[in-house]
Amino acid sequence: MYKIVRKRELNSIVTYMEIEAPFVARKAKAGQFIIFRVDDKSERVPLTIAGYDRENGTVSIIFQKVGLSTKLLGAKNEGEYIQDFVGPLGNPTDIEGKKKVCVVGGGVGCAIAYPSAKAFKEIGVETDVIIGFRNRDVVILEEEFKAASDKLYLMTDDGSYGEHGFVTDKLKSLLESGEKYDEILAVGPLPMLKFVSMTTKPFGVKTIVSVAPIMVDGTGMCGSCRVTVAGEMKFACVDGPEFDGHQVDFDELIKRNSLYKDLESEKHKDHICRMQKMADELIK
């Protein structure tokens, strides 16, 4: 069992947690992920590591409460426990050998982009960061990104905060203005990763994307996280989760990721919150 030592609501749907997991914290690096289960009847869900404290033996995760499992996790409080917290899994971000990079994050994907930006900055890489959100109400980690970047560009779809537009608008503007990057690292929803890759390709800038396909075991055995890269089948859990964005078949991956949306909706509709059920019984 793994103890929740800290919990903070970043906005109405995004939650930050620190989990006591010393063995994971000891080996964790930026870009890797964990798989959690809330209890012994729950599904296995991957979440990218948002941070770690080796001294205190904790690992940070940031998640959006959209599916059944993340809502169950979000209902947990400090001092409570979850069943499983396995990791670190996957390959870490390759931070060596670069002089200047641009890290691009979208929505909750910014939580994943942050540790990589921080890792680049800590070894002296000039680091520009572009983060994008729907509106001001859902902005997260702004101060953290300011500390982890040389230049921070914050975009909102509706212009309610920062600059008006998408992350791809700012990225294209920077590249057209003559900014030279050794690498672009993009983290966020698959459609965003697709369009970031399409934006950078004409400029010939190496673009790495962190993908989040359907995943079950996290060891490459089940094959559910397969991704076609340069015409070859790869497994995100062991070969990734970061790949060359110009080589990923995004259309195939987006289609595969939507396979279970109807089933998830049905499960959520039929689910009865155990806490609410207990409260109802007490009232009776």
Domain of residue 244, residue span: 100-257
Do 235 and 124 lie in one domain? The reply is: yes
Residue 270 falls inside a structural domain: no
> Total structural domains in the chain?
2
Do 151 and 225 lie in one domain? The reply is: yes
- pLDDT value for 277: 53
Do 50 and 153 lie in one domain? The reply is: no
Please tell me the distance from the alpha carbon of residue 170 to that of residue 110, in angstroms, as a whole number. Answer: 16
Q: Is 169 exposed, middle or buried (0-12, 13-18, 19+ CB in 10 A)?
A: middle
Residue 232 maps to which CATH number?
3.40.50.80
Q: Which of 236, 243, 224, 233 is nearest to 186 (CA)?
A: 243
Please tell me the distance from the alpha carbon of residue 138 to that of residue 176, in angstroms, as a whole number. Answer: 29
- pLDDT value for 283: 41
Do 112 and 78 lie in one domain? The reply is: no
Do 60 and 172 lie in one domain? The reply is: no
DSSP per-residue letters across 3-52: EEEEEEESSSSEEEEEEE-HHHHHH--TT-EEEEESSTTSPPEEEE--EE
Do 33 and 105 lie in one domain? The reply is: no
* Per-residue tens of pLDDT for the chain, all 284 residues: 999 999 999 988 889 999 999 999 999 999 999 999 999 888 888 898 989 999 999 999 998 888 888 899 999 999 999 999 998 999 999 999 999 999 999 988 888 899 999 999 999 999 999 999 999 999 999 999 999 999 999 999 999 999 999 999 999 999 999 999 999 999 999 999 999 999 999 999 999 999 987 878 777 788 888 899 999 999 988 998 999 999 999 999 998 877 655 555 555 555 555 544 544 454 44
Residue 72 falls inside a structural domain: yes
Do 141 and 218 lie in one domain? The reply is: yes
Read off the pTM. Answer: 0.84
| Cis preceding-peptide flag for 46 (omega within 30 of 0) | no
